[in-house]
Amino acid sequence: MTNERPIHVLGISGSLRDSSYNTALLRAAEELIPAGMTLEIVNLAGIPVFNVDEEIPFPKAVEELRSAIAAADAVLIATPEYNSSISGALKNALDWVSRSPQPPLTGKPVALIGASTGMFGTARAQVQLRQVLTHLGALVLPKPEVMVAKAQEVFDENGRLTSEATRGFLQDLLTKLATWTWQVTH
């Protein structure tokens, strides 16, 4: 695989929480990013609640997210699990960007990761997120799946991912996202 420039990945955390495990998981991905890839993490704070009456023109925060997705070669979404589904903040952001005249997730390579304090590590949320993204025409990496259960046991008090096994799974997903991005865009 040859690439003239690095694959630019946009990391989106579905949690607005300061000490979010999902944002921390994206920071771990930033540390582990393979050569030939870059990762930029964006925050969904500031995105208003979706209202069709307010979509023209797009609010500034939504336009910034839309253009960041459009400019990225691939997207990495870290989803929390709320009541067996994705967070309202994440669904809200996806609803907004879906209303763009040229929805930026259509045809975009996307990988999913997630951390929860429960036993199933966002398995249920990821299934639902995959469904929403498929509706939007995103090209979601089929495997591997990174679902971090009992997040409080694998992150330290500074939000560092301490589990070597989980770090390995994450690095493997990033490598496969690079290959997937190349495959689906060439």
Give residues in contact with ligand FMN (CB under 6 A).
15, 17, 20-22, 80-84, 116-118, 120
Q: How far is the CB of 162 from ligand FMN (least distance, A)?
A: 16
- Give me the amino acid identity at 108: K
Closest-by-Cβ residue to ligand FMN is: 118
Residue nearer to ligand FMN on the CB measure, 33 or 113: 113
From the CB of residue 133, how many other CB atoms can be counted at a distance below 10 Å?
Answer: 19
With CA atoms as reference, report the closest residue to 112 among 97, 83, 90, 95: 90
Q: How far is the CB of 110 from ligand FMN (least distance, A)?
A: 18
In the chain, what's the furthest Cα-to-Cα distance?
48
Residue nearer to ligand FMN on the CB measure, 87 or 100: 87
DSSP E strands in 105-171: the ranges are: 109-115, 139-140, 146-148
Q: In angstroms, what CA-CA distances link 164 with 14, 86, 138, 155, 160?
A: 24, 26, 30, 11, 11
Q: How far is the CB of 145 from ligand FMN (least distance, A)?
A: 15
Residue nearer to ligand FMN on the CB measure, 10 or 26: 26
Residue nearer to ligand FMN on the CB measure, 50 or 120: 120
Q: How far is the CB of 186 from ligand FMN (least distance, A)?
A: 34
Q: Are 95 and 51 in contact (CB under 8 A)?
A: no
